[in-house]
Structure 1
Amino acid sequence: MSLLTVQDLAVARGGMRAVEGVTFSLAAGQALILRGPNGIGKTTLLRTIAGLQPPVQGRIAMPDDAVAYAAHADGLKTALTVTENLRFWAEIFGGGGLDAAMSAMDLRGLADRPAAALSAGQKRRLGLARLLVTGRKLWILDEPTVSLDTASVARFATAVRDHLAAGGAALMATHIDLGLDEVEVLDLTPRRAKPGVPTRPAGFNEAFA
């Protein structure tokens, strides 16, 4: 079953094209890693596919309510505890499995600690645990292993592997080898737009570039 189809996609950052002509599809059980030099437009592409900004051209197709997006920010409410944060996101998305998510990302010992009191790595683990309680099939992840130590990267890789085995899919920008079996790599370097080509599609909002 196809969970994501991207066809001839062009995206913009700051009113200028970043990458163009991007085409790929993701089926259940598959992962795709985006690669390319800093600034090429990996984040912009992920944000566009996640629905946070409009594309310049092209087509994005996916089932309704399929996406869980994790970016550089951890998306935490600092006044809430670890458990309260996960419960909040589970209720927002209509998911569940709080205990399993805390176990997967080694958060059980931090269950009652406010997010404000967590280290950078612990906050990242909590931010990634959010994915596990959403119930969403398609994970879109921007540098998900930032601030994680080696053991936590391994835990995250296991979580992704389990997600794929359960019929999910993952689209990630990362330079870390997660050791996944069902993974392909898309190098965006050949898709870099020609410099200096302005574009402002209908509905383009500079604040979201």
Structure 2
Amino acid sequence: MNSKYSSLYTSLFLNLIYALFKGLSGYYFQSSWLISIAFYYMILSIMRFLLLRKDRKIKKQLHRKIIEELKTYRFCGYLMFLLNIAVTAIVLQMIHNAKYYEYPGTLIYAFAAYTFYSLISATINLIRYRSINRPILSAAKILSLANALISILALQTALFVQFGDGESSILILNGITGSTVCLSIFIMAILMIVHSTKKIKKLQ
């Protein structure tokens, strides 16, 4: 399998498993926090499945292929708004219900390393795939970047839990970072829609 797509299949599988686990846990424990996380990963899974499915169905004719990819890219931009609703629900849970991520012992350092690797990797890949004019792959990398931003927020909450000592300041900082992440995803969605719409009109 092409390495460009194997990562998509792997991410899709892991997202589905994680969404199912969090959803069942949320239902069992009656936890809106776990259900919010499950909703986020379910939307992420739907978007990745859409990208894979559409890429397999696109015709081989180059001109038509680019237009179809741009339409899929634009649709993912619309779905980013739905993804942002899930992220907003998570952030609100952090602020109003003092919910947080927690990683025991030294596991938090491993998560920190993985988070920064994901952020750097997603940024580099986004730039790389934009340059080769493959909107579907670019959309996949934008999803990876959005997920990396969520990981940064999760890492912050975990670090505050393990090393912080002021609950009110923690809630404020989580609110600031959470709002920044939500705004970033909203801006990415707008840019995806505007950019793809302009290119589709130009090609047509």
Larger relative CO (CA 8 A, sep 6+): 1 or 2? 1
TM-score (norm 2): 0.27
Determine which structure has the larger strand proportion and give its number.
Answer: 1
Q: Which has the higher helix share?
A: 2
TM-score normalized by structure 1? 0.26
